[in-house]
Amino acid sequence: MSNPSKETLEKWHKDPNHWKWGSFYFNKEDHRLFPPKRIPWMGWTINFANWKSILAFLLLFGSILLLLWFKKTQ
């Protein structure tokens, strides 16, 4: 499913089977990298069923760590 409808996205978001331990979003059908959190005003989360999402998170986290390391060494 390349472009799911708004209704499908809502259905996925509200389905408790797509939330592990109530916090971690895991949906193989959803190809978004950063879907909204369970409480949307809190921001976005990672779709842990999508390897691209995990890679994007690791790259972002690694970049932040690298910047902090450079700042500390100066």
Summarised one tens digit per residue, pLDDT across range 13-61 is 889 899 998 889 999 998 888 899 988 898 999 999 999 999 999 999 9
Domain span including residue 59: 6-73
Arithmetic mean of pLDDT, 1-16: 84
The model's confidence at residue 3, banded by pLDDT at 50, 70 and 90, is confident
Residue 1 domain-assigned (yes or no): no
Residue 50 domain-assigned (yes or no): yes
pLDDT for res 66:
95
Angle CA(20)–CA(13)–CA(40) in degrees, nearest 5? 100
Residue 24 domain-assigned (yes or no): yes
Domain count for the chain: 1
pTM: 0.73
pLDDT for res 55:
95
43 dihedral zone (left: phi>0; alpha: psi -120 to 50; beta): left
